[in-house]
Amino acid sequence: MSTDAGRVRLAIVDDHELIRDGLCALLDREHEERVVVVYSGDSVADAAASAADVTLLDIELGPGSEGVAANTATLHDSGSAVLVFSAHDEPVQIRDAMRAGALGFVPKRVSYSQLIEALDTVSRDELYLSVDLASMLASAADTPDLSARELDALRLYASGLKLSAVARRMAISPHTAKEYLDRVRQKYQQVGRPARTRTELYVAATRDGLLPDAPG
- 122 touches 85 (CB < 8 A): no
Residues of the chain with pLDDT under 70: 1-5, 131-133, 135-141, 212-216
Q: What is the pLDDT of residue 164?
A: 94
Q: What is the pLDDT of residue 136?
A: 62
Write the DSSP string, 65-125: ---HHHHHHHHHHTT-EEEEEESS--HHHHHHHHHTT--EEEETTS-HHHHHHHHHHHHTT
Q: What is the pLDDT of residue 21?
A: 94
Q: What is the pLDDT of residue 140?
A: 58
Q: Which CATH architecture has domain 3-139?
A: 3-Layer(aba) Sandwich (3.40)
CATH code of the domain made up of 148-207: 1.10.10.10
* Burial of residue 128 (number of CB atoms within 10 Å: 0-12, 13-18, 19+): buried
Give ranges for CATH 3.40.50.2300 in the chain: 3-139
Give ranges for CATH 1.10.10.10 in the chain: 148-207
Q: What is the pLDDT of residue 121?
A: 92
